[in-house]
């Protein structure tokens, strides 16, 4: 790489027979360039083994410029959209990015973090709901110290912060606030019997949403009813199966459903339809996340700033942002410094009917 770094953009321009500005435009990829011109430049870059400055650090032997994001699965839109935000910001900062998936397996997560530490990734961004227990805190604390020792930064995204003194940065979103708002939206439309579909005791994401749901009910003087809190994993199949079971057990004792996320909502809507119940005429429903199925289902939901979560994680890792003061955000289990919380908001579509005389 040392030799190739001596090649300059001027050499490339000369070889391609175009101006330096044109080379810059082609490499930047932001302006329209004629295909023939683009090809000439790309060929010259290859022939001279030219490394554009923006990528030079990422390509150096120690590879300090790579930013890695570790998620359960890219087939889940929540993860894919955050990963996309990470990659866009990384590209803008001249870094290459890698996505690694664990399939939810702690052993694979451990292998991946070790590999990234060995490769001296500039930052490792861990995303997603977890069961916060002593084992989890211990594991994350160890990752943070091991990565810091190798010159890498650990960023937790959508996960609760660790204790004081642990070298980890945290970016989250107002999970509880979004759940509160969307429940209040159903209450304002006259609904009093609201089924929460997606209970997962111990999982941070669902726990925060249930907390927002219960708080909104309490504020409106509606007693919480354990019979209206139903367990379901956060995917389409689980939402479908849980709603089918509920409907098979007897006529619905609810007029509205708050699904733990949009995938759960999609499954629940399918089960409602198969049972001859129309949305929103017979049953109202809201979701959470605002990922693709929501638009096609005309589903009222809570918008998560996926792209901004990914971008913020990169900016935090590169020291472009200063995280808030200790205990700043409404993240569960907060109480440590270095937390940045992004807002959520409702997207109103057509899946909620107003009840009552109006």
Q: How far apart are CA 353 and CA 283, in angstroms?
A: 8
Shortest approach of a copy of itself to residue 217 CB, angstroms?
29
- Tokens 């032997």 correspond to what residue? 61
Shortest approach of a copy of itself to residue 236 CB, angstroms?
8
Shortest approach of a copy of itself to residue 225 CB, angstroms?
29
Residues 41, 12 contacting (CB under 8 angstroms): yes
- Decide if residue 42 touches a copy of itself (CB under 8 A): yes
Shortest approach of a copy of itself to residue 55 CB, angstroms?
5
Q: Which of 184, 196, 128, 187 is nearest to 156 (CA)?
A: 128
- Decide if residue 127 touches a copy of itself (CB under 8 A): no
Q: Following CA atoms 31, 32, 33, 38 in sequence, which dihedral angle do they give, to the nearest 10 degrees?
A: 80
Q: How far apart are CA 168 and CA 314, in angstroms?
A: 13
Shortest approach of a copy of itself to residue 281 CB, angstroms?
17
List, in sequence order, every residue forming a beta bridge with 67; answer none if it has no partner.
97, 123
Q: How far apart are CA 111 and CA 84, in angstroms?
A: 23
- Binds a copy of itself by CB under 8 A, chosen from 101, 255, 284, 336: 101
Shortest approach of a copy of itself to residue 335 CB, angstroms?
23
Q: Which of 311, 284, 91 is nearest to 190 (CA)?
A: 284
- In the bound state with a copy of itself, the residue whose beta carbon lies nearer, of 257 and 331, is 257
In degrees rounded to 5, what are phi and psi of residue 216?
-65, -45
Residues 44, 16 contacting (CB under 8 angstroms): yes
- Binds a copy of itself by CB under 8 A, chosen from 118, 221, 319, 358: 118
Shortest approach of a copy of itself to residue 50 CB, angstroms?
10
String marking each residue 50-89 x if it binds a copy of itself according to CB under 8 A: --x--x--xx-x-x--x------xxx-x--xx-xx--xx-
- Decide if residue 3 touches a copy of itself (CB under 8 A): no
Q: How far apart are CA 174 and CA 304, in angstroms?
A: 9
How many Cα neighbours within 13 Å face the side chain of 289? Answer: 27
Residues 293, 266 contacting (CB under 8 angstroms): yes
- Decide if residue 108 touches a copy of itself (CB under 8 A): yes
Q: How far apart are CA 347 and CA 221, in angstroms?
A: 25
Residues 288, 301 contacting (CB under 8 angstroms): yes
String marking each residue 290-309 x if it binds a copy of itself according to CB under 8 A: --xx-xxx------------
Residue ranges in 139-198 that form contacts with a copy of itself under rule CB under 8 A: 139, 142
- Binds a copy of itself by CB under 8 A, chosen from 91, 150, 222, 321: 91
List, in sequence order, every residue forming a beta bridge with 302; answer none if it has no partner.
346
Shortest approach of a copy of itself to residue 221 CB, angstroms?
36
- In the bound state with a copy of itself, the residue whose beta carbon lies nearer, of 120 and 220, is 120
- Binds a copy of itself by CB under 8 A, chosen from 6, 20, 133, 350: 133
Shortest approach of a copy of itself to residue 40 CB, angstroms?
9
**Is 239 exposed, middle or buried (CB count within 10 Å of its CB: 0-12, 13-18, 19+)?**
buried
- Decide if residue 266 touches a copy of itself (CB under 8 A): yes
Q: Which of 162, 144, 140 is nearest to 154 (CA)?
A: 144
- In the bound state with a copy of itself, the residue whose beta carbon lies nearer, of 61 and 248, is 61
- Decide if residue 39 touches a copy of itself (CB under 8 A): yes
Q: Which residues here bind a copy of itself, judged by CB under 8 A?
A: 26-27, 29, 35, 38-39, 42-43, 45-46, 52, 55, 58-59, 61, 63, 66, 73-75, 77, 80-81, 83-84, 87-88, 91, 96-101, 103, 105-108, 110-112, 114-115, 118-119, 131, 133-135, 138-139, 142, 266, 269-270, 292-293, 295-297
């Amino acid at each position: 790489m040392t030799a190739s770094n001596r090649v300059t953009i001027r050499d490339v321009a000369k070889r391609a027979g175009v101006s330096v500005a044109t080379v810059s435009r082609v490499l930047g990829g932001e302006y329209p360039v004629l295909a023939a011109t683009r090809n000439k430049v790309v060929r010259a870059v290859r022939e001279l083994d030219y490394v554009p400055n923006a990528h030079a650090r990422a390509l150096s032997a120690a590879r300090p410029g790579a930013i890695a994001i570790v998620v359960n699965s890219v087939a889940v839109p929540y993860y894919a959209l955050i990963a996309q935000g990470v990659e866009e910001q990384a590209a803008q900062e001249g870094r290459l990015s890698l996505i690694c998936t664990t399939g939810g397996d702690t052993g694979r997560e451990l292998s991946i973090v070790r590999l990234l530490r060995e490769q001296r990734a500039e930052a490792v961004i861990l995303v997603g709901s977890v069961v916060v227990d002593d084992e989890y805190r211990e594991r994350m604390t160890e990752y943070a110290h091991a990565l810091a020792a190798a010159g890498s930064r650990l960023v937790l995204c959508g996960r609760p912060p660790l204790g004081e003194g642990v070298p980890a940065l945290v970016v989250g979103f107002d999970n509880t606030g979004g759940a509160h708002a969307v429940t209040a939206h159903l209450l304002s439309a006259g609904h009093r019997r609201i089924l929460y579909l997606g209970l997962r005791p111990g999982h941070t994401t669902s726990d925060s949403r249930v907390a927002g749901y219960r708080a909104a009910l309490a504020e409106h003087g509606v007693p919480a009813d354990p019979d209206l809190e139903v367990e379901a994993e956060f995917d389409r199949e689980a939402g479908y199966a849980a709603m089918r079971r509920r409907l098979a057990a007897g006529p619905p004792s609810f007029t509205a459903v708050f699904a733990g996320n949009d995938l759960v909502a999609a499954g629940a809507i399918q089960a409602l339809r198969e049972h001859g119940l129309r949305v929103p005429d017979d049953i109202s429903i809201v979701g959470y996340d605002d990922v693709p199925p929501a638009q096609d289902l005309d589903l009222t939901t809570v918008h998560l700033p996926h792209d901004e979560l990914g971008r913020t994680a990169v900016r935090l890792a590169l020291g472009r942002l200063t995280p808030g003061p200790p205990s700043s955000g409404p993240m569960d289990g907060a109480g440590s410094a270095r937390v940045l919380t992004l807002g959520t908001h409702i997207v109103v579509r057509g899946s909620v009917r107003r009840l009552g005389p109006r």
